[in-house]
């Protein structure tokens, strides 16, 4: 009987199979390492792109902040210039305003002779035939645009006409009649007259109009 020893063949086959498996594992490992390097490269590229976008956004924010700060500075400078302009306007109005106001007051207390002028004052609600000599002022005091006017009128109708003219004027606002009482004056043969005290505010120009709107006109400095 012939016997064949197959052990060396099997050992050779096993060695060959082992080498093939090792080679396969090596290839798989190389593929995995390559895939890892490729994946890492892709993620690094994405990370770099994200960093670039973040930097661009940060630069944009910085640029916008600079512009915002510049706008805020300009607004602050504008507010300061407006404040200085208001002060200068107030100084100018404080010099020329009283002259115009007193001129208007004198017109209120002057008889109207011109027919055309009489028609014009009718639109203001004035009585064009009123004789201003029926009323006279005893006192006129102005301080910080607040005025106190005192005087006498022959009748309540004369006082009412004076108040109407003040109320329709350009310079007098917030007119209040504080006192209105009948009195007798001994030096005028005990003539019965109406004594009055009036509080009002005067407007000399745009700066005063602004203060009036803010509620600060006439307040003590």
Q: Spell out, as residue ranges, where the chain has pLDDT lower than 70.
A: 1-28, 33-37, 39-41, 43, 71, 74, 79-96, 221
pLDDT value, residue 187: 76
- Domain range list for the chain: 95-214
Confidence (pLDDT) at 27? 66
Please provide residue 147's backbone torsions phi and psi, each rounded to the nearest 5 degrees.
-120, 150
pLDDT for position 13: 61
**CB distance 194 to 181 below 8 Å:** yes
pLDDT at 54: 80
How much is the pLDDT for 21?
66
Burial class (CB in 10 A: 0-12, 13-18, 19+), 38: exposed
Q: Pairing relation of β-strands 191-202 and 172-185?
A: antiparallel
Contacts 24+ apart (CB under 8 A), 191-195: 193/152, 193/153, 193/154, 194/152, 194/153, 194/154, 194/155, 194/156, 194/158, 194/159, 195/150, 195/151, 195/152
Q: Which of 191, 190, 87 is nearest to 134 (CA)?
A: 191
Query: What was the pLDDT predicted at 154?
Result: 95
Helix (H, G, I), strand (E, B) or coil at 47: helix
What gap in Å lies between CA 177 and CA 219, rounded to an integer? 19
Residues sharing a CB contact under 8 Å with residue 2, sequence separation 6 or more, in sequence order: none
pLDDT score, position 206: 86
Fold observed for domain 95-214: Alpha-Beta Plaits (3.30.70)
The pLDDT of residue 36 is 65
């Amino acid at each position: 009987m012939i016997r064949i020893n197959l052990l060396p063949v099997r050992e050779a086959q096993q060695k060959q199979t082992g080498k093939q498996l090792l080679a396969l594992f090596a290839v798989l490992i190389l593929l995995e390492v390559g895939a890892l390097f490729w994946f890492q490269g892709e993620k690094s590229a994405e990370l770099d792109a994200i960093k670039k976008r973040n930097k661009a956004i940060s630069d944009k924010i910085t640029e916008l902040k600079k512009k915002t700060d510049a706008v805020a500075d300009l607004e602050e400078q504008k507010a300061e210039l407006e404040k200085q302009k208001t002060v200068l306007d107030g100084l100018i109005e404080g010099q020329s305003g009283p002259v115009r106001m007193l001129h208007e007051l004198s017109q209120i207390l002057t008889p109207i002779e011109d027919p055309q002028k009489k028609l014009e004052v009718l639109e203001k609600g004035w009585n064009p035939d009123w004789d201003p000599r029926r009323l006279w002022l005893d006192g006129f005091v102005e301080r910080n645009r607040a005025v106190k006017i005192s005087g006498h009128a022959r009748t309540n109708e004369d006082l009412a006409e004076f108040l109407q003219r003040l109320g329709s004027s350009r310079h007098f606002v917030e007119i209040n009649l504080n006192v209105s009482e009948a009195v007798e004056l001994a030096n005028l043969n005990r003539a019965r007259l109406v004594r009055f005290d009036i509080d009002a505010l005067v407007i000399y120009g745009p700066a005063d109009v602004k203060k009036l709107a803010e509620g600060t006109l006439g307040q003590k400095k």
